[in-house]
Structure 1
Amino acid sequence: MPNTPTAALPTHGRYAYSPIRGRPTYDWPDGKRLAVYLGVNLEHFAFGTGLGAELAPGGPQPDILNFAWRDYGNRVGIWRMMDLFDQLGFPASVLVNSSIYDYCPEVMDAVRARGDEVLGHGRTNSERQGTLAEAEERELIAQSTAAIVKAEGKQPRGWLGPWISESTVTPDLLKEAGYTYLLDWCQDDQPIWFKTRDGERILSLPYPQELNDIPSIVGRKDSASQFADMIVDQFDEMLEQSAAGPLVMGIALHPYLVGQPYRLRQLRRALAHIAAHRDAIWITTAGAIAEHVAALPEGIVPGS
């Protein structure tokens, strides 16, 4: 039978297909090929309503068990994690729900004192932005951004949607709000440029959904040692692969998960393994990666 043409599938229109093999090669600073960053999610949740990860199946609201478990991250877990980052010399890209500034400003004071990068992460992880009408989503981005600017004195450059949630216009709204890169898409190991409706570009920076403690520990029920082994194996393999071209390795962390003492000990093991290779890699922030990519000549990065 002759082949019958099929209608084109719906698409997002943000980027074209580009195989990682055969792309132009470039380096990170000092000729390094593997960039590693920590994406630390600082999240605040509504009591008795809305979304939230669950340690155990939630009962009727108010769900005390899961609310308190998540709140542990802001009261205890993040402080232990910052101690660990200080010990090993890791900067962090902090993805902040703007309600954190009202709830526990001491945490953001400590983030600021460390000199960490602050990114937008919505108002609260009790809501998704992708379900909102465009005007409502624009307002969510504006409110979150204004809180960061008020506290930090500058516009955040990067954004991660609560629950990795996007509408069909999110990249457009982010670009229009002054953002230069987003982290919601996990389709590549290198940054790529996205198209937006105004003809400008916004950078999509790799953010992991595999090397992410929520899908790993909450979703797949991986143990603390399994998650740490994943980090080590990902790093070792990507370090070898990076001989052929630049790669980005993100590690997504939530203080109410890896800030638990027994998980923190395993995270320490994994990060110490990475730190031991410091001379061969670029331990950095998402924002520094985006800035480096933005300065590359046209035609080097997919979408440029």
Structure 2
Amino acid sequence: MPLTDHGRYAFSPIPARPDFDWPGKARLAVYLGMNLECFDFGSGLGAELAPGGPQPDVLNYAWRDYGNRVGVWRMLELFDRLGLPCTALVNSAMYDAAPGVVEAFRGRGDEIAGHGRSNSERQGSLDARGEAALIVDATQRLHREEGRRPKGWLGPWISQSRVTPDLLDEAGYDYLLDWCHDDQPVWMNTRAGRILSVPYPQELNDIPQIIGRKREAAEFADMILDSFDVMLAESARRPLVMGIALHPYIMGQPHRLKHLDRALRALTARSNDQVWFTTAGAINDHYRQLGL
């Protein structure tokens, strides 16, 4: 019996693809994906530090809120010290829930990408009309606040329906980040044309590793460096994208920031002219210019 196919892209083994360079003839593009998220109090979804009790689940709500009140500022200071850019993946409700947070990333010149309205909901569980409305709501708020439309989208909870790429393309998005199927950008078919899938990690991602697999920050930091070493060596043969996905309520904790600091300092120290520290949006822009 044949497998059901999504129809979005064809199978393509990475060694068989055309070669290309990133800007400045770099071979490895590295970006930080900073998830800026907010949550309903007393209802909806949210990552858990510990198994939650009946709503209102004060323990887990307050733990997540710590990220916007404290953790994100520690992380911003670290990124400033190292001169690292970010792609800020923004819930549009952040402007009301945590004033000043998104503005701090804007002030650094970081990319602001769409990440739904809040992380208390999944877009993939909505019908097509409801999902389209969610995308429009979030996009319009980011456009109004930032003065430009976001180019990229990460679904809250990496949530997609069968028509999400179509809806994002029709809403004017250039790229999406939900599919962790490759280490290079991949064109995806939509009913009106195509949209670019930019690699976004689920391995180098603090939620799956620290919350899901119960690893801690020292091991997560080692994973970042091990991945960098392997991918930098491999990039001599083929260009690659290395993303690092971070959440302030996780990596902004003091005992974890120490290890993130260690990893990012070592990563920058090991870098050379073959490494491009960038944003997901800049990766999208460059790849589109290549015409591949």
Counterpart residue identity of residue 243, structure 1: A
Q: Does 1:240 align with 2:240?
A: no
Q: Which runs of 4+ in 1 moved over 4 A?
A: none
Which of 90, 105, 109 is the equivalent residue of 2:103?
A: 109
Q: Tell me the distance in 2 between the aligned counterparts of 1:109 and 1:188.
A: 32
Counterpart residue identity of residue 281, structure 1: V
1:194 shift after superposition: 0.3
Q: Tell me the distance in 2 between the aligned counterparts of 1:203 and 1:144.
A: 20
Q: Following superposition of structure 1 onto structure 2, how do residues 261-280 of structure 1 map, counting pairs within 5 Å? A: 261-276=254-269, 277-280=271-274
Larger radius of gyration between Structure 1 and Structure 2: 1
What is the DSSP-based 3-state SS (H/G/I as helix, E as strand, rest coil) of the residue aligned with 1:292?
helix
For structure 2, the residue ranges without an aligned partner over 5 or more in a row are none
1:103 shift after superposition: 1.3
Q: Does 1:34 align with 2:28?
A: yes
Q: Tell me the distance in 1 between the aligned counterparts of 2:141 and 2:228.
A: 35
Match of 1:3 in 2: none
What is the DSSP-based 3-state SS (H/G/I as helix, E as strand, rest coil) of the residue aligned with 1:243?
coil
Q: Tell me the distance in 2 between the aligned counterparts of 1:102 and 1:121.
A: 15
What is the DSSP-based 3-state SS (H/G/I as helix, E as strand, rest coil) of the residue aligned with 1:36?
strand
Q: Tell me the distance in 1 between the aligned counterparts of 2:24 and 2:115.
A: 31
Q: Tell me the distance in 2 between the aligned counterparts of 1:195 and 1:72.
A: 40
| Aligned residues of 2:29 and 2:278 also touching (Cα < 8 A) | yes
Q: Following superposition of structure 1 onto structure 2, how do residues 78-97 of structure 1 map, counting pairs within 5 Å? A: 78-97=72-91
Q: Does 1:121 align with 2:151?
A: no
Q: Tell me the distance in 1 between the aligned counterparts of 2:172 and 2:4.
A: 28
Q: Following superposition of structure 1 onto structure 2, how do residues 182-193 of structure 1 map, counting pairs within 5 Å? A: 182-193=176-187
Match of 2:210 in 1: 217
Which of 45, 52, 55 is the equivalent residue of 2:46?
A: 52
Q: Tell me the distance in 1 between the aligned counterparts of 2:65 and 2:45.
A: 14
Which of 245, 248, 272 is the equivalent residue of 1:255?
A: 248
Match of 1:66 in 2: 60
Match of 2:139 in 1: 145
Match of 1:229 in 2: 222
1:165 shift after superposition: 0.1
Matched pairs, number: 291
What is the DSSP-based 3-state SS (H/G/I as helix, E as strand, rest coil) of the residue aligned with 2:54?
coil
Counterpart residue identity of residue 98, structure 2: C
Which of 196, 199, 224 is the equivalent residue of 1:206?
A: 199
1:61 shift after superposition: 0.6
Q: Tell me the distance in 2 between the aligned counterparts of 1:106 and 1:195.
A: 37
| Aligned residues of 2:25 and 2:274 also touching (Cα < 8 A) | no
1:223 shift after superposition: 1.1
Q: Residue deviations 1:109-157, cap 9 Å, x none?
A: 2111111100000001010000100000000000000110010000000
Sequence identity (%): 65
Aligned-residue Cα RMSD (Å) equals 0.7
Match of 1:180 in 2: 174
Q: Residue deviations 1:173-206, cap 9 Å, x none?
A: 00110100000000000001000001x1100000
1:278 shift after superposition: 4.7
1:105 shift after superposition: 2.0
| Aligned residues of 2:29 and 2:276 also touching (Cα < 8 A) | yes
1:279 shift after superposition: 3.2
1:59 shift after superposition: 0.7
Q: Tell me the distance in 2 between the aligned counterparts of 1:66 and 1:205.
A: 31
Counterpart residue identity of residue 74, structure 1: N
Match of 2:290 in 1: 296
TM-score, normalization: structure 2?
A: 0.98
Q: Tell me the distance in 1 between the aligned counterparts of 2:237 and 2:106.
A: 36
Q: Does 1:136 align with 2:136?
A: no
Q: Tell me the distance in 2 between the aligned counterparts of 1:81 and 1:39.
A: 12
Counterpart residue identity of residue 17, structure 1: F
Counterpart residue identity of residue 74, structure 2: R
What is the DSSP-based 3-state SS (H/G/I as helix, E as strand, rest coil) of the residue aligned with 2:141?
helix
